[in-house]
Chains A and B, each alone.
Chain A
Amino acid sequence: MTVLEYLVPRSLPEAIGLLERHGPELLVMAGGTVAMPLINEGISLPERVMSLRSAGLTSIEQRGDVLSIGAAATLTQLVAQDGVALLSEAARNTASWSIRNMGTVGGNLFTPPPGGDVAVALLALDARVRLSGPHGERVLPLADFYTGFMTNALAADELLVEIYVPTAVGETAFIKFGRKHANTPAVVTVAIALQRRDGRISAARIALGAAGPHPIRAARAEAAIVGSALESGVIERAADTAAGECRPFRDAIATEWYRRRMVGVFVRRALEKVVEQEQDDVGEGE
């Protein structure tokens, strides 16, 4: 079945109206970098597709201590913003230049693992998502958005419209490990945000990509290090705990066994990166 209709709404209310009219069979697409390959190969055969590219959801702006990111803002826009360094780094490490010019931040939240590297950073940053439907809006923590492999909390008549990221993020680190340096699916992606008070970790968020059915937090590893100083024994404990609690999978990129090992390695390296950044900062201050 070839596509009968391609809808390009010019505003959010128009988009919500179209979704309500056509129902859950309507395929919602933003950058097209995930949906179009499937349509081109005849694997996905939707009758109706709606593009969010022109629906006015593309701005990225700082409001107070929150960065508001339109769901259809491109990854290239995310690279360019200077409010949250972790997000620029995650976006820079996602796909290729052309794909970043097309792929969107919102779309990244729907990209199945091992894709979706920006979503891993957003999870570490405790981002919230704004969902909008015909009967109003709601805001959810990103951690509550995911419900399983390629499933989420979005109701059939809702659209993801905006992502909120607190800009006071503390210390952060991002590492994506793939089989190539660039434009590569992840073996594992690690994003970390830490707060320290009086030399001790007061809050920790360790987010993992390609280590579960969707981006996940390594909650036990986080709990294992809060209250401690960021030193080698603590780092090893976090790495081992994260490797133990993650839920990796096997695909053409890596085996489950290898991914679990690499979760340990890259959680350790990400935490060491935080330590190195602190030393660099101290060095620059002298």
Chain B
Amino acid sequence: MSPALNVVGRSVPRSDGIGHVTGRTQFATDHSFPGMLHLKIVRSPVHHARIRRIDLSEAERVPGFVCALTHADVPHNVYTILGLIGVEPEEEFVLAEDRARYKGEPIAAIVAESEEAALDAVARVKLDLEELPAVFDVEEALKPGAPIVTHWGNNTFMYEGHPCRRVRFGDVEEAFARADHIVEGVYNTKPIEQAPIETTGCIAVPEANGRYTVYTNTQAVYFSLDNTSIILQIPGNRLHFVGGTVGGGFGGKVDVIVEPLATLAAMKTNRPVKYAYSRSEEMQVSSTRSAWRIYVKDGVMRDGRIIARKVTSYADSGAYSRQTPYALTKHAANASGPYAIPNVSIDAYCVYTNRVPSSAMRGFGITMASFALEVQMDKIAEVAGLDPWSIRFINAYRDGDIKPHRKVVEDATLIETMQAAAALVGQDLPAEFRAMTSARRSEGGA
């Protein structure tokens, strides 16, 4: 007999519920400290430019101006968020040096006694810029002669020496040659802003013991702490990050943007410093879900079996890679969909353009693959003269199948999920699909 369950199957009050309904939950910028300074950013007004000169002289005269930070003040100015898991090279500038690569890129930080003074001083910073040609489309960015965004000479993230993440399984060309139908499609998606109601922000507070307490709404407290430690070149034990209370994230708060500068300003001034995005900044310069272009080519037999799938995907990473290289790796592992296809070839490119850097958002890498592939499945059904249910049952993967990236499928539930969905919408399924299971084919899975 199993022990009584205390939680499973019961409605349990959330531990943060009382705080939320009374408004007593303290979000990062609900904290306030005596003598707190405000940090605002001077941003590139253009998509791509050489920075000739930053003139701070007028800004410095604004009453309430405390200090300005430029790249020269940042101990380790060029970093890569995923450097913590071994991703190279370091390529994002905390504050731009000789070049701004996207509209809104931080060039300098202004620290002032009040937010108004900081905004006023930001407006008085004079930038001497030489505007450069910019590129906004993934395939344009890969053409010869395209403006180069990165500092290493091409516009792709390099995966172990290759310009894309590759998966090779079987022989797609041989299978295309003997397929009854070839079905091709191209699928485009737009960037999407996560738009949390609480904007990205933090407050860095110098403590008497020489440490810095950082109240932050990051979704990734230790990621932020470790990257801040690298950027500021101080041991992690001098940083105490207080987080976990996030006013909406959806992947939009996993980049390390506000903490390093706020902490650096706190170090310079020995005062608490707040750096929080305005709503406009959240919408215009915080990273979005990437724009994608996905080409799919399928070889299909008369009975509906897909025998070959070739996918070429481009994710628009924007000016810096942030979490997008990881998204492409996830994408490559899933770009054949939850289907058993014996011949698969996948090329997934993480492309740099002069758009705002893109990054994480709910299922990034996978969501866009699902969108493209499921529309493609309907298209295949049409070409093969089958209905959309049949095409999916015929091709559904089962336990024990090998996915193109050599992962053995375990705990597959596509067939059972489709059966349940059919029941919910009142769709009659043929007996063969009703009897189908995800069990290993060798164990009698029909």
Contacts and interface: CB of A to CB of B under 8 A. Distances in A.
* A–B touching in complex (CB under 8 Å): yes
Interface of A: 1-2, 41-42, 45
Contact of A2 (B117, B122, B278, B279): B117
A41 B278 contact: yes
**Interface size grouping (class) on chain B:** 10 to 19
Contacts of B114: 2
A42 B123 contact: yes
Nearest to B279: A41
Nearest to B62: A1
Nearest to A40: B278
Interface of B: 114, 116-117, 119-120, 122-123, 278-280
A1 B280 CA distance: 20
Contacts of A42: 116, 119-120, 122-123
Given A1-B120, A42-B116, 12 more contacts: A2-B114, A2-B116, A2-B117, A2-B120, A41-B278, A41-B279, A41-B280, A42-B119, A42-B122, A42-B123, A45-B120, A45-B123
Contacts of B123: 42, 45
Contacts of B122: 42
A45 B121 CA distance: 12
A126 B123 CA distance: 43
Nearest to B281: A41
Contacts of B278: 41
A90 to B, nearest CB: 27
13 contacts: A1-B120, A2-B114, A2-B116, A2-B117, A2-B120, A41-B278, A41-B279, A41-B280, A42-B116, A42-B119, A42-B122, A42-B123, A45-B120
A42 B119 CA distance: 6
Contacts of A1: 120
Contacts of A2: 114, 116-117, 120
* Residue with the greatest number of chain B CB neighbours at <10 A, chosen from A41, A42, A45: A42
A45 B116 CA distance: 10
A81 B330 CA distance: 59
Q: Which 3 A-B pairs have the closest CB atoms?
A: A42-B119, A2-B116, A41-B278
B286 to A, nearest CB: 16
Nearest to A43: B280
Most chain B CB neighbours (cut-off 10 Å) among A2, A41, A45: A2
A186 to B, nearest CB: 20
Contacts of B119: 42
A70 to B, nearest CB: 32
A107 B123 CA distance: 28
Nearest to B114: A2
A169 to B, nearest CB: 40
Counting chain A CB atoms within 10 Å of each CB, which of B114, B116, B120, B122 scores highest? Answer: B116
A1 B62 CA distance: 8
Contacts of A41: 278-280
Nearest to A3: B116
A215 B280 CA distance: 27
A43 to B, nearest CB: 9
A1 B120 CA distance: 6
A2 B112 CA distance: 13
Contacts of A45: 120, 123
A34 to B, nearest CB: 16
A45 B278 CA distance: 16
B193 to A, nearest CB: 12
A45 B114 CA distance: 15
A42 B114 CA distance: 12
Nearest to A37: B279
A1 B123 CA distance: 10
B42 to A, nearest CB: 13
Contacts of B280: 41
A42 B116 CA distance: 7
Nearest to B122: A42
A1 B278 CA distance: 18
Contacts of B117: 2
A45 B122 CA distance: 13
A41 B278 CA distance: 7
A1 B114 CA distance: 12
Contacts of B120: 1-2, 42, 45
Contacts of B116: 2, 42
A132 B53 CA distance: 50
A42 B38 CA distance: 14
A45 B115 CA distance: 13
A284 to B, nearest CB: 41
A180 B116 CA distance: 34
B5 to A, nearest CB: 42
A42 B124 CA distance: 12
B62 to A, nearest CB: 9
Nearest to B120: A1
Nearest to A1: B120
A42 B120 CA distance: 7
A42 B123 CA distance: 9
A138 to B, nearest CB: 38
Which of B114, B119, B279 counts the most chain A CB atoms within 10 A? B119
A41 B280 CA distance: 8
A36 B99 CA distance: 35
A236 B367 CA distance: 44
B160 to A, nearest CB: 41
A123 B280 CA distance: 33
A45 B124 CA distance: 13
B281 to A, nearest CB: 9
A1 to B, nearest CB: 6
B140 to A, nearest CB: 23
A1 B116 CA distance: 8
A117 to B, nearest CB: 23
Nearest to B280: A41
B263 to A, nearest CB: 24
B155 to A, nearest CB: 28
A181 B158 CA distance: 46
A140 B80 CA distance: 62
A68 B116 CA distance: 40
A73 B378 CA distance: 56
A141 to B, nearest CB: 38
B301 to A, nearest CB: 43
A2 B123 CA distance: 13
A37 to B, nearest CB: 9
B198 to A, nearest CB: 16
